[in-house]
Amino acid sequence: MAKKYSVRLLMAGSILASVAIPTIANAIDFNITGFVRQEIAVSVTDDATIVNRSDNMYNFNGRVMPGFGGLDANGDPIDDLTTSSGRFSYQANPGNFGGCGPVGVGNFCDTNGDGLNDDPRATGLTADNDFNLFNTRAELEIQAKISESLAAYMRIRAYFDGTSTFADENQQVEKHFLTDSGFGDNRGNLLEVQNNDAMIDIPSLYADINFGNSWFRVGQQQIAWGEALFFRVFDVANGLDLRRHLFFDVGAEEYADERVASPGVRASYTFSNGWEVDAFVQMFSPTLYPNTNTPYNVILDGFTVGNSKFGKGFDDAENSLNFGARVIMPDVLAKDLTLSVMAVNRRNPDGVFRWDEGGGRFMNMNPADGLGINGKTGAVVMGANPFCNLNSLIGGTATQSDAESSCGHSFELDGTGTNSYQDWWQQASAARFDPVQGAATSIGELSGSNQLAVPNGIGKKADGKFDFVKEAEITAGTQTEIMTIDAAEMAAVTACTATSSCTPATGANRKMRGMKVVSGFFTGFGPLRGHISREYKRENILGASFNYIITADQTSIFDQLIVRGEMSYTIDKTFTDISASTLFTKSDEILASVILEKYQSVFDAIPATYFVFEWMHRTDTDLGGRMLSGYSRGQDLIFEDEDGSPEGVSSADYFVFAFQQPFPNLIWRADFALLADVRGGIFFQPGVRYKPSSEWQFDIYANIAADVGGKNDDLLESFDNMDEVFARVSYYF
């Protein structure tokens, strides 16, 4: 009876729907539009980057990297040509890819002693690909006006990345759109499906409801509060999806394609005096970075970003909610002056990075190196984890029974990982990390690694973080063994670790200790891949802004000049520590910007020009969210800096100048945008748009970054190897 009743109910519902839906649809005003676009970006630079495996000259790209042989009188490192990556591992098993042996004739990787890597398993990692983009996009927009009070909107986006079609077969691009951790494990957005080279998502799916002075938007949506080019001060509701074109799209589009949408409810109420309250509740969605070995990658290839083993990564943040509200007050103190204030409580979508446990991921260690313990199963196996092996080069005891808690570490043996102390220093510098304290932290902080910390002169400072410490200072020539310190030093480090009273070593002693230890790891094992994870901390953001329109004589350049100002204050914000410590850096951060906008007629024969000038000040991070304490004030950390660590800078300032110049009939438009870091970096984006009809549009732009300062002291040098010309051909329907 129950089944028959259900069938009858379904049949009745279907008959009712077949009658009602066409009637309702006839009453709805639909508007369907869309476009198909081909996007092409061609690289115009030969500059190499160390971010991707194929361009990293400091890694296994046809070179055998020598070990560390101390510092010379100028404090510069000396190469030790008798050692190289994996020397000890090579001696134990010459057939192991992890080892190269001594540099010179007889080297497993360099059979003829010419300094080049002859191992066929290590060659072929270089790639030559002129295309940064060769992608096809299609978007469909459906607008439905149901009544005067109710409307709905949906936007569907399909995107195919064809860049790999033209790539060198050695480029080894593993994935463009799949994420390491996300919704359903690999989806960057809740309403997204994808594979390696294609994705389909729904960035907008919402209903707008109006009741008098009240307005509601319910569903998948972007929330854009900020109004600046390149800068985000008030624009804090959503993270960014940077997988397609990083932030290199047309600047005037203000992150419209990058801002991550998420399900939520936004509500607004306008009072009789014009004041407005705008509030939202929205599901958390993370910022999505380009994947490794893709043209716009910004995360070092020698490191794998995964979900935290401690449950504080994406899984911890998934299904959490962000909240925010702002009050807009027009004409509150003067005519044409609008003030606003905001308060937001959110999970920071950019996340913070930290060393993660690597136990159980050392499954490719040589069986000849002894018994180990599988960190996942607890089983005793051959060569499971070099940091638990009984015959490990760096220790290990027969009493270790739980690799998950006693033998874990942040690294695994991997031929495509970081290869040498030179590679370590250059990659850390590029990422604005501290290579010295980062090495000490990766050894001393992870569970099970404490057995390695003391023998390498690493102690815990008063703030709980690890570093190479004064109690274990060494001088050139007094220590020949890389991996050990004498008994007195070990006793001192043990004492300071127990009392947390250590102070870091300074000068050449600290630099040499760090380089000796880092080189020792690579000499012992060969290339190592680091494991880090991302956590999403909750934070409170307060902000205030103003918007003022200047009224002057019509002949004055100041007439109708729009002056905007935005400032945000994040209370006790959590940042990625420059050593990637699990003890994150915390500080109050202030962002401030001033924006000037104006339409100004320059020539009578053409329409007015739109001008924008902006300034931004940041107290703790650069535009990419990296700590300013990781900047090195123009010094080369591997050679010029005395202690091998960045000195940091106190603040960051950026300027933007942009204009748009339409021509008669609005068929042509010239664009120009310039972003300048006051420390010496400049980014140009000139472009032209040609729209001969309502159906067709052609765009061509250039993205050029130039570093005119020192090394690792400004933002734009991180992108000066991505110079390109990109074009878009769009057909609208």
pLDDT tens digits for 16-67? 334 444 545 567 899 999 999 999 999 998 777 778 877 776 665 556 778 8
Contact yes or no for 90/96 (Cβ under 8 A): yes
pLDDT at 382: 45
pLDDT at 579: 96
Total length of the chain: 733
pLDDT at 682: 94
Long-range contacts of 602-607 (CB under 8 A, 24+ apart): 602/661, 605/664, 606/661, 606/662, 606/663, 606/664, 607/661, 607/662, 607/663, 607/664, 607/666
pLDDT at 12: 41
Residue 106's Cα: distance from chain center in Å? 42
- pLDDT averaged over every residue in the chain: 82
- What is the rounded distance in angstroms from the CA atom of residue 692 to the CA atom of residue 689? 10
HEC profile of 135-162:
EEEEEEEEEEECCCCEEEEEEEEEEEEC
Range scoring the smallest mean pLDDT among 272-276, 447-451, 510-514, 661-665: 447-451
What residue spans of 540-596 are helical by DSSP H? none
Helix (H) or strand (E) holding 21: helix 2-27
What residue spans of 454-597 are helical by DSSP H? 487-499, 507-525
pLDDT at 245: 94
pLDDT, tens digit, for every residue of 695-731?
999 999 999 998 876 678 899 988 888 999 999 999 9
Going by pLDDT thresholds of 50, 70 and 90, the confidence category of residue 116 is low
Task: For residue 132, give the nearest of 727, 640, 564, 621 by alpha carbon.
Answer: 727
Span between the terminal Cα atoms of the chain, in Å = 52
Residue 318 identity: E
Query: What's the whole-number mean pLDDT along residues 665-682?
Result: 94
pLDDT, tens digit, for every residue of 318-362?
999 999 999 999 998 889 999 999 999 999 999 999 998 764 434
Task: For residue 243, give the nearest of 186, 283, 284, 282 by alpha carbon.
Answer: 186
Residue 234: both structure tokens together: 């008030």
Q: Phi-psi category of 184—alpha, beta or left, where left has phi over 0 and alpha has psi -120 to 50?
A: left
Query: What's the whole-number mean pLDDT along residues 630-643?
Result: 88
Name which residue leads in pLDDT, 184 or 510.
Answer: 510
pLDDT at 577: 97
pLDDT, tens digit, for every residue of 305-328?
877 666 678 888 999 999 999 999
Query: What's the whole-number mean pLDDT along residues 241-253?
Result: 92
Residue 457 identity: G
Contact yes or no for 81/98 (Cβ under 8 A): no
What residue spans of 318-383 are helical by DSSP H? none
pLDDT, tens digit, for every residue of 137-196?
999 999 999 999 999 999 999 999 888 777 665 555 667 788 777 887 788 889 999 888
Contact yes or no for 410/532 (Cβ under 8 A): yes
pLDDT at 227: 80
Task: For residue 525, give the nearest of 407, 406, 381, 420 by alpha carbon.
Answer: 420
Query: What's the whole-number mean pLDDT along residues 455-459?
Result: 84
Is the pLDDT at 373 greater than 80, yes or no? no
Task: For residue 701, give the nearest of 671, 675, 674 by alpha carbon.
Answer: 671
Query: What's the whole-number mean pLDDT along residues 190-216?
Result: 94
What dihedral do alpha carbons 507, 509, 514, 520 form, nearest 10°? 160
Going by pLDDT thresholds of 50, 70 and 90, the confidence category of residue 99 is low
pLDDT at 508: 86
Q: To the nearest whole percent, how much of the chain has pLDDT over 90?
A: 47
Is the pLDDT at 607 greater than 70, yes or no? yes
- Residue 499 neighbours by CB under 8 Å, 6+ apart: none
For 517, counting Cβ atoms within 10 Å of its Cβ (0-12 exposed, 13-18 middle, 19+ buried), the class is buried
Is the pLDDT at 493 greater than 50, yes or no? yes
Residue 311: both structure tokens together: 């449950």
Is the pLDDT at 386 greater than 60, yes or no? no
pLDDT at 479: 43
What three-state secondary structure class fits 533? strand
pLDDT, tens digit, for every residue of 61-90?
556 778 888 888 888 898 887 788 777 666
Contact yes or no for 82/70 (Cβ under 8 A): no
Q: What's the Cα-to-Cα distance from 557 to each of 228, 229, 594, 597, 674, rounded to whole Å?
A: 21, 22, 18, 11, 22
Query: What's the whole-number mean pLDDT along residues 489-505?
Result: 83
Task: For residue 350, give the nearest of 172, 531, 589 by alpha carbon.
Answer: 589
Task: For residue 263, give the nearest of 202, 347, 195 by alpha carbon.
Answer: 202
pLDDT at 710: 65
Beta bridge partners of 139: 35, 157
Residue 611's Cα: distance from chain center in Å? 31
CA-based torsion, 52, 55, 58, 61: positive or negative:
positive
What three-state secondary structure class fits 330? strand
Range scoring the smallest mean pLDDT among 72-81, 361-370, 408-417, 574-583: 361-370
pLDDT at 551: 92
- What is the rounded distance in angstroms from the CA atom of residue 235 to the CA atom of residue 225? 5
Is the pLDDT at 395 greater than 90, yes or no? no
